[in-house]
Chains A and B, each alone.
Chain A
Amino acid sequence: MFYKVLPIVEKEVINNKYFIITFTNFEMAEQSCPGQFFKLKGLEQEFPILPRPFSVFKKEDSKLSFLIKVVGTATKNLSQLKIEERVALLGPLGNGFQIHNGKKVLIVSGGIGYAPLNFLRDGLNKADNEITFFHGGKNANDVFSKNIRIYTEDGSIGEKGLVTDGVEEFLSQNQIDVVYTCGPENMLRKVKEICEGFKTKLYMSMETVMACGIGSCCGCAIKVEENGKPVYKKVCKDGPVFDGYKIV
């Protein structure tokens, strides 16, 4: 974990909702694993006060990229930064995805939940996993790759419907060992329901409002089952990736 102020070295605007910013730092990149995240805040931006958490979207040598969705003032501020403008970064934070070797794997992402799973795919490839990738969004604007199975609610690209529509059918026709997922709460709940029937392993990356990001403040607690009892776990340090079946 490091705290560094770095200039943006690359910026790609995908559409009016999404953009990618990239930084170069050897130490931070070297330590980053799929599923981990950073807290980011523009150096000159005072309000909102808290840096916001973003999963690593891509790592290439010393380069770290973040796919960011504009949802409020903090993300809007970040979207307005230009190349060479400076951002304070804290990370890598949290526990990443557990990567098994040589498994049959299904990835299910919804909207901006695509970000950590894109980085995960690279890690899974290196460990000789056979990967199928399902992604869902409201419309074509929420789609970041064409080489995967796409579902949109309005049918503007890929199949019309929810990404979870395809998951059940796929799992019933294919022997899958591990499912990785990240996305909106309703989607996660549905994925969990489906996976329970097929007894796959299930890893879920969770999102919450967060303050310190390093495990000190206990602000980002969620309820997780431990030894048969519900307890509060910190998304920032115990997660953000959890055993999907343990989320209460």
Chain B
Amino acid sequence: MIDFKIKIGKMLWKNPVTVASGTFGLEFGELFDISQLGAIVTKTVTLHPKQGNAPPRIAETEAGLLNSIGLQNPGIENFIKTDLHEYRIIDTNLIVSISADSISQFGEVIQELERQSGIDGYEINVSCPNVESEGIIFGTDNKTVFKLVSMIKKTTERTVIVKLTPNLTSIENIARVAENAGADAISLINTVYGMAIDIETRKPKIKNVIAGYSGIGIKPIALQNVFRVAKVVKIPIIGMGGIRNTNDALEFIIAGATAVAVGTQNFVNPLSTLDIIQGLKKYLDEKKVQYKDLINSVNF
């Protein structure tokens, strides 16, 4: 029997596979039993409803996908009234992804969610490339991240995961800051800045011009970020960025990720998370290796 259980903060996961925020929803429950996932990460919710960015919001490029959704969501109040009821009865860990324009607004969102049962953790999205707060992405500033994570840790007993952007000169610094502020885990990477142009019209293919790039094209970028961060923090890493199959997932685990998340691939094959869970089991069985010994096991 393969032992797959992992601990992320206070959460016990039955397997190390989850989904990247924004690429998954309750709709997938019509296609498979989503309680089979180690955890479910919701689409990011914000204090007030967000209409999202003007379309076109997505464009496929040579080796990946550009998106600029702009965190379209119904706001925390509607989320609690609708989706949360369905999510909380699913028999796996529920991680609510949250974003806000300011530290105090993050606090308000958390306070609302603290009154609700059935939530196991929060993913603090300080890294969306498509919404900006006062001109900068939250997650690129060490002091802001420290203040924010410290505040959230004081407000909740639940597991706090900080999602980092790769659009930085040193991801190690910000990861260490998040750990020092008390983060229970780190998830990385959010999308990479990207752009595409239609040469006939000379218009950007995404209305918002600069977008977030995801999919197989960013896998090497994501992998080296996981590898670097794993060297400098002790808290677990949820690795993501271009994972399509078991082999991709294994690379992230070997590079230092305790868990992996599937994003863009959910749009290609909505059952790919299940394939990866099975594939990892098979790999561990065939290689006669313990899962915990596989994490952060790069041979030089």
Contact = CB atoms under 8 A, between A and B. Distances in A.
B22 interface: yes
B interface residue count range (under 10 / 10 to 19 / 20 to 34 / 35 or more): 20 to 34
A209 B27 CA distance: 19
Contact of A1 (B22, B31, B69, B267): B31
B100 to A, nearest CB: 19
A15 interface: no
A219 B69 contact: yes
Contacts of A209: 56, 58-60
Contacts of B268: 41, 49-51
Interface string B40-51: 000100000001
Contacts of A213: 267
Interface in A64-83: none
B293 interface: no
B28 interface: yes
Contacts of A232: 51-52, 55, 72
Interface SS majority for chain B: loop
Contact of B55 (A3, A215, A222, A231): A222
Which of A47, A208, A219 has the largest count of B CB atoms less than 10 A from its CB?
Answer: A219
Nearest to B59: A209
B97 interface: no
B140 interface: no
B28 A217 contact: no
A99 to B, nearest CB: 24
A221 B72 contact: yes
Given A47-B63, A50-B268, A216 B23 contact: yes
Contacts of A48: 60
Interface string A203-231: 00000111111111111111100000001
B150 interface: no
A219 B58 contact: yes
Contact of A208 (B23, B55, B69): B55
A1 B26 CA distance: 13
B256 to A, nearest CB: 26
A214 B29 CA distance: 11
A88 interface: yes
B279 interface: no
Contact of B52 (A47, A88, A218): A218
B69 A217 contact: yes
Nearest to A237: B27
A241 B15 CA distance: 40
Nearest to A222: B55
Contacts of B64: 49
A223 B57 CA distance: 12
Given A47-B62, A221-B57, A2 B31 contact: yes
19 contacts: A3-B270, A49-B264, A49-B268, A50-B60, A88-B269, A208-B56, A210-B58, A211-B264, A211-B267, A212-B25, A214-B270, A218-B52, A218-B69, A218-B72, A221-B57, A221-B72, A222-B55, A231-B51, A232-B52
Interface of B: 22-25, 27-28, 30-31, 43, 51-52, 55-60, 62-65, 67, 69, 72, 215-216, 264, 266-271
Interface of A: 1-3, 41, 47-51, 88, 90, 208-223, 231-232, 237
Given A211-B58, A215-B27, A216-B27, 15 more contacts: A3-B31, A3-B270, A49-B60, A90-B270, A209-B59, A210-B58, A211-B65, A211-B267, A212-B266, A212-B270, A213-B267, A218-B43, A218-B72, A219-B67, A232-B52
